[in-house]
Structures are given as C-alpha cells and as structure tokens.
Chain A
Amino acid sequence: MRGRAALLVLEDGSTFRGSGFGADGETFGEAVFNTGMAGYQEVLTDPSYAGQIVTMTYPHQGNYGLNDEDPESFRIQVAGFAVREASRRPSSWRSGTSVRDALAAAGIVGIEGIDTRRLTLRLRTHGAMRAAISTDDLDEASLIARVRESAGMEGADLARTVSAPRPYEAASLVGPAATDRGKVFRVAAYDFGLKRNILRLLAASGIEAIVVPAETPADEVAGAGYDGVFLSNGPGDPSATRYGVAAVRDLLGRVPVFGICLGHQLLGLALDGRSYKMKFGHRGVNQPVERRRTGAVEITSHNHGFAIDAGAWETDDDGIVRTPHGRVELSHRNLNDGTLEGLRCLDVPAFSVQYHPEAAPGPHDSRYLFDEFRSLMAERERERAEEAV
C-alpha cells in the first residue's frame, strides 16, 4: 500500500481499512456506488454528488488522468472518493493531472486498496448509508459513533449550497449558441447543481442559456421574456427543495419547461406528485430506459437517490395521469426496475427526464431531448403568433 493508513466506516458498523490518497483528514457523507467504468472526472465534478462519498465499482480509477475539458463544474464536488486502486501513472494525450494530485489540491479525502465490491454489496443490501473516511481517527468504534451522529440525505436541501450565487451567461463557459439551427432561443436555466455539458448541449441545439440561482423567484424569470425555462439536476432531497417546487408550479403553463434529474423531481412535485428516497438509487451509465411512444430502448446515464412515485396519481391504462395541471404522460420507464424516468405534460408545455440525456459520462442515446425542448419552444412561439393574429 502506498499512502498512509485510512479507515472507511458505514453507519451499519462495517469497516474497510485501506490507504489514503488525495488529502489527509476526515470526511462524512452518504456512501453511494457508481457502476460506470470510465468517466470519474465527470463524476467527481458533478454537483449532484455534493455531500456524498462515492465509491466506483470499477477497480482502476484515474487511468487517463484529469484534463480541463471534462469537468462538469468549477470544482470537485464529492465529499469523498473510495476506490480499489487510484492510478499513480495516468496516461493520455489529454491528461493534465492525476486523480491523486487533483483530490489533494481540492482537499478531498480518498481511500484506496479496499474491497469496493464488498462495500457495494453492503450498500445494495442495506441501502445508501451515512459513512466516513478518515486518516486521523483509525479507531473503528469512535468513527462509527461519529458517523451515526452525522446528518443524512433525507430532508437535506443541498441545491442552494452548490448553486451559482448570481446569474451568468452560459456562453461565458461554453461559447455562443449554435446558429445553424435557425432562431436562437433564450432560456433561463435554474442552477440546482447544473452540469456543464447540459449548457454545451443547449448551446449546440441553438439555445442560449442564462444561468440563474436556485432560489430565483418564478416572477423574476417569467417577467424577463425568456422563451423557456430549464430545470437542472442537483443534489439532495427534492421535497426539501421547496423554493424550487414553488417556482416550477408558478411557471407551468407560462413558459415551456424542461427538467433533468432533480429538475424532473421538482416538476413531478409541482404536478402534485410524490417523491421518495430509493434504497440505493441509480448511478451509472448502463441503465436501459424505454421510450413509451416508440418502445425504443435508450442506454442512459443516471445519478439519483430520489425518484418520483408514478403511483401518486391515478393512471389510465395508456400511461396518462391526471394532475392539477392537466393530463401528463409517463413518457419513460426504467426497464431494470420500472422506475418512472420521464414526464410529459399534455396540456401545458413541459417535460422532464429522471436520467441524464447530457450524459457526461455516458452514452449519447438521449440527446434528442434537447431538440424536443427546442421544438416545444418553437411550437409555443407559433401558437403565440396565431393568438396574435
């Protein structure tokens, strides 16, 4: 083993001894596992992982290093990183730094050399748990005791902690929106923990985004003449993100809305749905999702521990539910466990998906959704024009 001794414990009392890498010290958070084999840089920098200690089920991490093109946000967001082996010698023409150095620089504690499969099976059978990694306190009993005192995810409102403090132009990060698609639409993108690749893909489909803080009131947005509103992914418990739910409720019917992940959950709650905490969630890049209308299967990228309960509404047989905002189609379904993966309002211009069509990491099967957002706004414009006549 290379670094100094480190200890990882779970609230159920299981312990894992390995060696530390990245920063020395101690970190607490919710332990979750991700089954993607590559894409650790995107994972580390995904704000949705705020407050979580992430273990990767694939043993080798850091093989191709880190670069300046792939981060999904301004910094490393995970609370801790637990792997079987962190590469000491990254190799790639794009590699700038190693995962070891990057974590050290960011002051994030990592542990390696542990049986990550054992850890994963624990989380699968007992569910996501509070956990800690420490290089200081190597006494199992004491660290477990302190884990049990730490706060959990349920009821945690973390979106505001990772959100941008003030509005900014997406263009400043990802360049101007593509003009080859015809009119460039302007949208407000609520930042609950927004991933950068979402901005890239919005821009690529000719959508110019103004990123606004998580707690921006609906009226501020509705009044500003945006063509649409985008609801981003983000960490924490959707039901605790009340300001988000309220904003969406206000916006529904006034502007076209597109939500991803937490954004999807907020739309679901705004439609008087119910959210629940999953046993251990979906985190990976290989989840099969069925598109109800075509029956086509998309291989999708996931990162969520909460979901919307389709059972909250009464459903008629062709997957349409009735909500205060009219009829809503349960548009996507997870083929592994039946989880609700998408909502499409039929009486107001709004839709959302639980998974990550922007991927990063993950397959590109679902990028069509960004074009659908575009079409939704184009349609809305046409209707407006007709009303005007």
Chain B
Amino acid sequence: MPRRTDIHRIMVIGSGPIVIGQACEFDYSGTQACKVLRAEGFDVALVNSNPATIMTDPGFADRTYIEPLTPASVLAILERERPDAVLPTLGGQTALNVSVALAESGDLDRLGIRLIGATLEAIRKAEDRSGFQRAMVDAGLEVPRSGIATTVDQALRLGEEIGYPVIVRPSFTLGGGGSGFASSRDELETLAARSLEISPATEILVEESIAGWKEFELEVMRDGADNAVIVCSIENVDPMGVHTGDSITVAPQQTLSDREYQVMRDAAIACVRAIGVETGGSNVQFAVDPRTGRQVVIEMNPRVSRSSALASKATGFPIAKIAALLAAGYRLDEVTNDITGETPAAFEPTLDYVVVKIPRFAFEKFPEASPVLSSTMKSVGETMAIGRTFKEALGKAWRGIEKSGFDLGSAAVDERPAREELLASLRDGTEHRLHLVEAALEAGWSVDEVAAASAIDPWFVDQIAEVVEGATSIDGRALHTLGATELREAKRLGMSDPRIAMLTGATDAAVRRHREALGVTPVFKTVDTCGGEFPATTPYHYSAYEDESEVRPADRPRIVILGAGPNRIGQGIEFDYACVHAAFALEEAGFESVMINSNPETVSTDYDTSSRLYFEPLSAEDVLAVCRAERPAGVIAQFGGQTPLRLARVLQDEGFPILGTSPDAIDLAEDRGKFAEVLAELGIPAPPHGEARTIAEARQVASSIGYPVVVRPSYVLGGRAMEIVYDDDELELFVRTAAEASPDHPVLIDRFLEGAIEVDVDAVCDGTDVFIGAIMEHIEEAGVHSGDSSCQIPPATLSDDELDTIEHITRRLARRLGVVGLLNLQLAVKDERIWVLEANPRASRTVPFVSKVVGVALARVATLVVAGRTLADLELEGVLPGDPHHYRRLPATSVKAAVLPFDRFPGVDTILGPEMRSTGEVMGIDVDPGMALAKAMVAAGHALPTRGTVFVSVANRDKRAIVFPAGRLAAMGFRVLATSGTAGVLERAGIRVERVAKVSEGPHNVAELIRDGAIDLVINTPFGRSPRSDGWRIRTASAAAGVPCVTTLPGVFAALRGIEALRGAPTEPRSLQEHHDVARAEPRQARLTFAEAAAVADATSADGWS
C-alpha cells in the first residue's frame, strides 16, 4: 500500500499558542509532518496562530496562515485553499477540536475535504468520555467505575452511587483542565459546576478515584493495513492522581514483568482498534493496582501528544513523521528506520538506557496558587535526561531542570520537616516530592515506609535510597580523599559536581578539576532504537559513566549551539526557534552543528535538525564534557535565552571560545550597574535608579528618585519578583519579601516611568554595522512586562524622528557593548524622551515574531554573522532588505498578543504587571490594523463580542479617558453596565448606562452577573493593589467564567478597534508568503488608529455621545 494518489493538497492544523498542557511538542510534530509531506510531493498548507514556531516559517509549508484556530477562521482558509484533506492529529487538542467542529457542521463534506489520520467517529469515541468508556467495555477492557453527567444533579447522584472520593474529568479538554477530586457531596457540587462549564461538550465523567495506583502510558502506531506496534512504554514515578504531564516519568516501564506488560500491550492495541484510529500514533493510559495487578484503561488520545514527543526523543523513533507518512497511505514496513538506515519502521524500539522526564513548574510566579500536584496539569515545561541507569538519568534530569539547588538532593528542601509533616507532604506531593523522599530516607525511614506514604513504587524509592547511601558515604569527607573508584561510583549514581562539592565542602570547579585529573569523565553512547543490534547512522548521543565512547570524528569543523533547556515562563519556544535556525545556518556556512539541549518537546532535539545531537542538561559539567568530546571551533551562547549566558564564562575559561558576543560584553549588558555606566557614558537617558540593601537605604533612594518606583531583586529574570510601588509602606513590604527571595543581593530601585510607551527592538550587529529587524510598539504601557504586553509592527504612534532616535541608540549601544549577533533593546518613550530600560545581548522572545513579519530570519542572519559573514555581504546577497526602514513601510499590520495561564490558577489576580506570567503568544496579521488586533485577541482566546453587554469599572485616573470608548460601545448598541463611580461619569457624558452593585455591596452584584454569563466584556482597570478588592473579585470572576477582561486603557482602545473591525466586512485571509510578496512589491505606510482614538479620548470633554 504505497502513498495514496487520491490526495494532492493537505491542510495541516497547528496547536496555537503555548499553554499549560500544550507546548512545543506540537511544533515538533507539525514541523516533522510538513517536512515529510512536502518531501512526498504533497502541496501543504498550514494554519497556526503561534508565530514562535518553526513550522510557521515560510519555508516549511507551501502556504502558511498565521490566523486564529477558531472554526470560523479555519473555515475561511479552507474555503480559499480547498485542500483534499485535513490532517487533524498533529496539532494537539486544539487541532482536533477545530476539526471536529468543522466536520460536525458539515463544512468539510460540503467542501469535499477528508479527515486523514483519524475519522470524526474515532475522535468522538476517544474524546467523549462516555463514548470511550462504552468502546472499552465492548472491547473487553476494564475501566474504573464511573458515569457521565451533564448536570450537577446527575453528578451528585453518581457521587452517591460510586462512593467518595471521586474524580471529575471533563470531555474534550487537555492537561486535565477542569478535572479534580471530590471527597464529599459539597466538594463535588462546586467541582462539577466548574468542570461542566469548562467542557466544550458540557459533559463530565464522574469516576471512582484510584489515586495511588501505578500509572503507565503506551505509545501505539497503527498503519492502514492494521499493523500495530508499541513505540514506547512510559511509567510514572508519581502515582495516579498526579497528571501525567506533572509526573516524573520513566521510559521504558520498570516494574511490570513481561507477562503483565504483554497484557497491557494487547489492551493498548485493542483500544486503538476499538476506537478506530485508522493510522498514526495514539497514546493509551493505564492504571495498575499495585496490590493485585488489576489493569484499567484511563484514557487514550487519538493523536500525537506530549508523551509522543517524549517517546520519540526517548527511542529515536520519529512518531510524528511516521504518523504523517501513514496518513499519506504508507504501511509501517514501507517506511525505513532513519537511525539504522536499513531496517523498517515496522518494529518495536528497544532501549539500552533509561530515560527520565521531570516537569518544570512556575509556582513562584503564582504565589496564591496551591503547589500540590493533582489531576490538573500545572507544569509549564519539562526536561528529559538519558542515562544508563535510573539513578544516572534522574541525577541528570535534576540538573536539566535548571532550578537552582534541585540537583543537590534533599538539600533542595532546606528545613527538615517533622515526621507528621513529612507524612503529609509525601502524600500531597509538590515539585519537591523526591527531595522529601530523600529527606525521609536520610531520617532513617525504611524504603517501604516511604513507599507507603508517597504511593511511589518501592523500586524507585530503593533506587533513590542507593543515591542517599552513596551521598552519606562521602558526606563530610575532604575532596582530595575521594579516589577515582569512589568518585566514579558517585557519578554513576547521578550525583552532580555541585552536590559532591556540597558534601565535601569544596567548590564545583574544584570537584570538576579533581574528577578530571583522576580521569573520571563520562563517555558518550548512542540512541539507536535497537539496543545495539544494528549500527546507527545518526549521531544522537548521551553521556554516561561507562567504558566506551561512540563519538565519531567529523570531517567539517564543528560549532556547538547551547539550547534553552526546559520551557519556563520567560523562556520558551522562541529560543528553540532561534537555536534551530542557528543549526540550519551553520550547515549552510559549511560547519557541523552540534546541538546540546534537554527539552524533549522541541524541534532542536530532533536528530535531523543538527549534524550532531547531544541530549544533555545545560549545566557546566555536562556541557564541558560534550565540548571535550567534540573539540569544537567555538560555542554559540546567544540563542538559548538566559540559560547559555550563564555558561558562557566557564566555557571561555576552559578554553572553548564563545563565538559572537563575548562573555565580557554579555556581562556589560546584563550587570545593571555596569550597563547604567555605559548608558551614562553614551549620554543615553535611563530612568533614575539606585541600589539598597536595607529598608532605610531603600526609603532614602526612593525619595531621592521619587515615587512611583520599580523595585526588583538584583538577580531577576523574566521580571521575577519585580514590582511597582507607590509609597514607603509598599516599598518596605517588598524589600522584606525580595530580600528573602535573594539573600545578600541588593534591591534595585528605578523611577517608574508612568504612562510611558514601551518599545522593543531586535537587531543584529556584526561589530561594525547594525541591521534593525524591527521596532515594536507595545500596546500596554510600560509597567506591563514586555513578555505579557501586546505589541505591533509597524509601530503605531511613534514619529519617524522617534524611530530614528531609537535606531540611533540601538546602533550606538550595539557597537559600544561589542555585540556580535543578536541584540534586544527595551525602551520607554515618555514626554518626547526616550529611555533605555534594558539590553539583552541575545535572541529575544520577539525574534521569531519580527522574522515572520518582516520576512527576514534574524536568527539565521545572526548565525551567519557569528560565523564570520558581514551584514554588508548579506545585504548584497539580498538576504537583507535594502531599505533600512523596511519595517516601517509594511502593507499589513502585525500584532503579537500574550496568552496567560490564569485558567490553571483560580484566584490569581489577572492584572498585568512587571512580572511576566504569560506562557505563550499569538500573532494577528491583516491589512486592516483593527482586524490584525481583533485576530490577535481572538487567537489569544479573548473572543471579542460584537454585540451584547459590557461592564465598565475603572480607576479614577482613567475615568475621563473611558468616556470615549464607552460611548462608542453604546453607540454600537452594547448594553453598558457600570459601578456607581464610573456610571456617574458616563451618565454625565450622556451615555445610557445601568448601575450594578459592587461585590462588596452584597447580592446581585457584578461578580454574580459575570458568573451567570450575563456579561460579554469586562473593562476593569485596577484600583490599586489591595489583594481582595472589588477589582480583584471582578477580574478573577471573569477569568473563571472565561469572559474577556481588559485591564489597561490602551487595551480598551485596542479591543474597541477590534470590535469595530469584527463588525465590519470580514477580510480575506492571506498566507504569510503572500504578505511577504506584497511587501516586496509595493511597500506603503500602514497606521493604526486606535491610538488616534486614544488621543481624541483625552481631548473629549464629557459630552456628545448619545
């Protein structure tokens, strides 16, 4: 059964912005699919709203649509593209749900478009919890006792029947969204209500809780001829009850005998057949009762998933790529295994190593949220590590997670909890659970006691016990007394140099030197899918403390690219995008690219992205080991975000040259003190600032600078722990908490430029010339972290003079700092003056956005420059546009909007501030600027209403400015509600407005209205920072009910423009390629008028709009 000939044009649907539960893994899968389908000669069109992805680079599909992933917008594209088929199984839950909607609406049939990979029926069966349960029972597979409810009453009745505790699981959601446990009627009542709300099908499963059982996952591949193989088995170290996405997991499974495993294998294949997934990858989740071995099926995803990405990286079997080929008609035995190059893909990979995945959490950014792990996924990223034993892999994973101290074992939990506490915290696991396991073992608990308390299998606990014993045996010893054998044992147990340093009271560097002097260094093994049975053709390596290394010499000079490690808030897919481009560009420049990264979700960790792949933690010892093995011409540190910058110095010192911007230059920009001096020296304005170590000092600095001020601990990243304070009390409060956050680090205090326009610049410098990628104007004012605010190209309100000045500043700074490669500048424009907020001498979050908008791959340009080319050459070759103002004259407007995870953290205030909290971003592009805004907002999940009811409640300082937009909304026929204060102002402006009670004013208040869905749009600008204020109640209610809630004035005007555009005639979607062609053809100035509107508003005296 070769490639099907009845299909020529295929539409691939992406997964949209990075959200908790859906991350880069779908860029990886979509990219693989697009690549292989085009190689097979299909005409591929792609839609995805996420500009930070590799797959949305113009080169990866024939036509790339960066448009919202709503049924309406995808339909518009389908109408235009008329593909023969839609591939819905590689874009996560998002693609699946959109496809289901369009199939059910009959549009696909009307347009004669097929779903390939999975039929509508199969998707329904798998995703709809009741259908799934029936299918499983029919197939003779066991499932937990459960029932389906579509109302709260039904849910409660089921609760009584099944008996508490129960778990509630909504249909068609991802990452356990809306799921949770209820141990009583009351708990179930609230939980069921919320889950029904969240489920697109308002259907929930109420199920017997089997929390504490063992959880497993099998990755199944099936082809059109019904051949099925298991690609990988995954065992969760955490028990049932902790979402797989939040669980520490291991591949292959460790604790099932072959007899039990084969039963599970049969069940997984039976499940896929029962659901009727025609071709491709699916994952099936199982629970096993540790006392009896009883196996039950938990769920299956009829699509490529996060665990498929993990399985692909863990085995070397490219699930997404092969899924695409199978969907295109091939059989498994017709596809070759890239890694052996000779054997077919119709086989089951076997591992001769252990893979451990550890999720990365961001609770520090959501202090109000509970840190206890549950069935609702909360992690924002993950790291994967490969070792020859579980212990070795676990130790590497702790380094890979890049959270300071996590690789130090039990030392990561500073205070030793008492027995009762320990019992409790072992039961309700947090991200520190394995550290607590160590603590308990150190405290003398037996393996079985710990296993019983934590519901973690004794086998895993005993593995950790071995590490603890190893640590104890060297604890307190002097480093030089450790011989080669002992050190080697410690390393084989997965202990990091820093941990050994802590135990022996030496420095990390001392441990490393002693170790290397004794010849205790890792070798590099190969991931080959076959346990060594066949030679591997792909250099995909991992380190291990063993005898024999398999690294082969290379014929071309090698350059190491340091990746970005696990996703985290502030450092996500954007940086992987840059690393991937670096790899491509190095090949182009005649080098072998050597990728080091530890994030299994990414394109960069695909074995065919770089010439050589090292799946390793980005920690000093691991990166140095790779460099010693590869002896590269140099190392590139500027694409992986902050992670590689921290390694640049040590690499340099150990004799591995950092190519491009030097560590000293990095330091000059990163060290806020030194940077301030540079600015002063160049006479570039910066906000007045100072440092303080004590509260008294802080008060003094603040008063000399003048409130409001921005305060932050000196080490910050991603605006971590950064705040705007308006008076001494707030300041005092902050200095306490911040001082806690970073002991013996000063607090930095800057004048807060209130109401300033924030600007981002991405540029490339070759040491002489500077290429300005684009200047982005933020929509929210400075004070909202650049990562959380929306921005647009071309800039909206900045004058050409201002743009010129910003370009001038960028050029001078780039040269003065000694940047070679990428530079990101953040500035603020206030009262005709331009201030520099910070400079990042590296790839930034906005690089992919800019690259897509202006049609120049900045990361590629930067890499070529780092590799020795000059910008002048590149301009001559037409890589760069001749017009230095290219970005100002684009025919279309592009808007980037952030996506925030508030739905995951109920009760967290949604006010935007200087601390970044967004997980991802989307882009809206359109010739009509208003439509570009609307698209960005819709894509970000804030479906703007075109009619209905708007609630307005703004801070006093915003009352004048709100009159204009409120009037416009009323004029457009919106019903306007407001709280007394705001209502008064609007009435005086002649706007018809209804008063509603504040929450503090008792029942029938606005929060209730929001909850009951009586309000379609909320406009609420903060009344200061009081935690449980009315404002907070309104915003959290909106977040919970999924009602769009605008919290800044510029945001209001943007929304207004969006609504106006949506009410007008729809514009035709255009592919990125078309936009670029037009831009090259006839550049013309585009301007956004919401800003003019803002101007009008400020002028408007209160009259006129009724």
Contacts and interface: CB of A to CB of B under 8 A. Distances in A.
Interface of A: 1, 16, 33, 35-39, 41-42, 57-60, 63-64, 67, 69-70, 84-85, 87-94, 115-118, 120-121, 124, 284-288, 290, 295-297, 299, 335-337, 359-364
B415 interface: no
B532 A57 contact: yes
A176 B252 CA distance: 37
Contacts of A117: 352, 388, 525, 532, 546, 548
Given A35-B530, A35-B531, 16 more contacts: A60-B390, A63-B459, A64-B255, A69-B259, A70-B259, A88-B462, A91-B462, A116-B352, A117-B352, A117-B388, A117-B525, A118-B548, A287-B347, A336-B342, A337-B343, A363-B348
B258 interface: yes
Nearest to B257: A64
B350 A91 contact: no
Contacts of A363: 262, 265, 348
Interface of B: 225-227, 229, 252-259, 261-262, 265-266, 290-293, 331-333, 342-344, 346-354, 388-390, 447, 457-459, 462, 465-466, 489, 525, 530-535, 546-548
Given A60-B389, A84-B388, A117-B548, A37 B255 contact: no
Contacts of A337: 343
A10 to B, nearest CB: 14
Contacts of B344: 288, 335-336
25 contacts: A16-B547, A35-B350, A36-B350, A37-B252, A37-B351, A38-B253, A38-B257, A38-B261, A59-B389, A60-B254, A60-B389, A64-B459, A69-B259, A84-B389, A88-B462, A89-B458, A89-B459, A117-B525, A118-B547, A285-B258, A288-B343, A360-B258, A361-B259, A363-B262, A364-B265
Nearest to A295: B225
Contacts of B261: 38
A93 B292 contact: yes
Given A84-B389, A89-B462, A336-B343, A63 B254 contact: yes
B258 A42 contact: yes
A57 B225 contact: no
A92 to B, nearest CB: 6
A177 to B, nearest CB: 21
A360 B263 CA distance: 12
A176 B265 CA distance: 28
B258 A361 contact: yes
Contacts of A90: 459
B351 A58 contact: yes
Given A118-B546, A120-B352, A124-B533, A85 B257 contact: no
A33 B353 contact: no
Given A93-B290, A118-B548, A124-B532, A297 B227 contact: yes
A149 to B, nearest CB: 26
B249 to A, nearest CB: 16
B458 A91 contact: yes
* Nearest 7 Cβ contacts at the A-B interface: A39-B258, A57-B531, A89-B462, A361-B258, A91-B459, A35-B531, A118-B548
B347 A290 contact: no
B67 to A, nearest CB: 40
A67 B256 CA distance: 12
Nearest to B337: A336
A120 B352 CA distance: 10
Contacts of A364: 262, 265-266
A36 B351 CA distance: 9
B161 to A, nearest CB: 29
Nearest to A118: B548
Nearest to B457: A91
A296 B261 CA distance: 23
Q: Which of A57, A88, A93, A117 has the most C-beta atoms of chain B within 10 angstroms of its own C-beta?
A: A117
A295 to B, nearest CB: 7
A296 B257 contact: no
A283 B342 CA distance: 18
Contacts of B256: 38, 64, 92
B347 A57 contact: no
Nearest to A361: B258
Contact of B333 (A38, A92, A288): A288
Contacts of B351: 37, 58
B229 A299 contact: yes
A36 B258 contact: yes
Contacts of B447: 89
Nearest to B261: A38
Contacts of A336: 342-344, 347, 534
Most chain B CB inside 10 Å of its own CB: which residue of A64, A88, A284, A290: A64
A120 B532 contact: yes
A288 B346 contact: yes
Contacts of A35: 350, 352, 530-533
A307 to B, nearest CB: 15
Contacts of B465: 89
A295 B225 CA distance: 9
B293 A93 contact: yes
A155 to B, nearest CB: 26
Contact of A335 (B343, B350, B548): B343
Contacts of B291: 93
Contact of A58 (B227, B348, B531): B531
A246 B344 CA distance: 38
A1 B489 contact: yes
A69 B258 CA distance: 12
A290 B344 CA distance: 11
Nearest to B463: A89
A41 B353 CA distance: 20
A310 B388 CA distance: 39
Nearest to B291: A93
B213 to A, nearest CB: 12
B1028 to A, nearest CB: 48
* Most-contacted residue by chain B among A67, A84, A90, A290 (CB, 10 A): A84
A288 B331 CA distance: 13
Nearest to B344: A335
A38 B531 CA distance: 13
Residue of B291, B346, B353, B354 with most partner-chain A CB within 10 A = B346
A118 B526 CA distance: 11
A287 B291 CA distance: 33
B350 A286 contact: yes
With most chain A CB atoms within 10 A of its CB, the pick from B258, B266, B535 is B258
Contacts of A60: 254, 354, 389-390
Contacts of A36: 258, 350
Contact of A59 (B225, B265, B388): B388
Contacts of A33: 531-533
Nearest to A282: B533
A85 B546 contact: no
A198 to B, nearest CB: 15
A71 to B, nearest CB: 11
B574 to A, nearest CB: 37
B533 A41 contact: no
Given A335-B333, A359-B262, A58 B352 contact: yes
Contact of B349 (A1, A70, A286): A286
Contact of B347 (A93, A94, A121, A286): A286
B550 to A, nearest CB: 8
Centre residue among A88, A115, A295 by max chain B CB count within 10 A: A115
A299 B348 contact: yes
Given A57-B352, A85-B389, A87-B459, A284 B531 contact: yes
A291 to B, nearest CB: 11
B253 to A, nearest CB: 8
Contacts of A1: 489
Contacts of B257: 38-39, 41, 64, 67, 70, 92, 94
A359 B466 CA distance: 34
Contacts of B546: 115, 117-118
B237 to A, nearest CB: 12
B1017 to A, nearest CB: 55
